[in-house]
Amino acid sequence: NAGVTQTPKFQVLKTGQSMTLQCAQDMNHEYMSWYRQDPGMGLRLIHYSVGAGITDQGEVPNGYNVSRSTTEDFPLRLLSAAPSQTSVYFCASSRRDTQYFGPGTRLTVL
Amino acid sequence: AQSVTQLDSQVPVFEEAPVELRCNYSSSVSVYLFWYVQYPNQGLQLLLKYLSGSTLVKGINGFEAEFNKSQTSFHLRKPSVHISDTAEYFCAVRGNTNAGKSTFGDGTTLTVKP
């Protein structure tokens, strides 16, 4: 099993550009989540999903969109990137208790 | 709603000394508790978890934690640390009904000195 995979590993955007961060899991987990990690802070929840077709907002959802058309994939879309979205983004998946994290995407918005 | 407070942002310790990283939480529902470790430029790795049952939980790399419901704490301990334990440690909590919605503390940087 590959576990949770994220692409790309690194990305540089200009203010106003859009992009999609990809996340996939091969463990048939119902739950998937997106977090962002900023220096000196823990992970903050952006959006999460409890199954295909069902998503909900987390603590810091503004500026991000998600959808979940399959169990395996949970992409995160930045509609119009802003410097405040410079961060490391982690995707996670879980069945009932333990979340498994991907390696992260380091995003810089200039 | 739930929250996590990691009481120490940085903990320096000498090699082979014991260490305790402190974590307090608040929640209006029953919770699951977790400790994760993050090495530089890597993702999060689960150290241990408390779901139910025995309040003393043992994890990987010789770490253990004790769930104290009355004090709403979940402190992480190791009796003898190694240089390789230098990393960022995160405490996390979530309600026992939504596996996708965890709340994390701000992290504790453990630095083990020779």
Question: What is the structure's pLDDT at B87?
Answer: 97
Rounded Cα gap, residues B30 and B20, in angstroms: 24
Whether B37 and B8 have beta carbons less than 8 Å apart is answered as no
Question: What is the structure's pLDDT at A2?
Answer: 79
Rounded Cα gap, residues B109 and A34, in angstroms: 23
- B21-53: pLDDT as tens digits: 999 999 888 889 999 999 988 889 999 999 988
B94 exposure class (CB count in 10 Å sphere: 0-12, 13-18, 19+): buried
Going residue by residue through chain A (110 aa), what tens digit of pLDDT does each one get? 779 999 999 999 999 999 999 999 999 999 999 999 998 888 999 999 999 999 999 999 999 999 999 999 999 999 999 999 999 999 999 988 889 999 999 999 99
Among all chains, which residue has been given the structure tokens 């408390």? B50
- What are the DSSP calls for B9-69, one per residue? SEEEEETT--EEE-EEEEESS-EEEEEEEE-TT--EEEEEEE-SS-SEEE-GGG-EEEEET
Rounded Cα gap, residues A19 and B39, in angstroms: 27
- B93-108: pLDDT as tens digits: 988 777 778 999 999 9
Question: What is the structure's pLDDT at B42?
Answer: 87
Question: What is the structure's pLDDT at B31?
Answer: 87
Mean pLDDT taken over chain B = 93
How much of chain A exceeds pLDDT 90, in percent? 90
The CA distances from residue A81 to A61, A76, B61, in Å, are 13, 12, 40
> How near does any CA of chain B get to the CA of A93, in Å?
7
Rounded Cα gap, residues B106 and B83, in angstroms: 22
A50: chain B residues, CB-CB within 8 Å: 98, 100
B44: chain A residues, CB-CB within 8 Å: 43, 90, 101
Question: What is the structure's pLDDT at B35?
Answer: 97
Cα angle: A35, vertex B6, A104; to 5 degrees: 25
> How near does any CA of chain A get to the CA of B99, in Å?
5
Partnered with residue A82 across adjacent β-strands are none
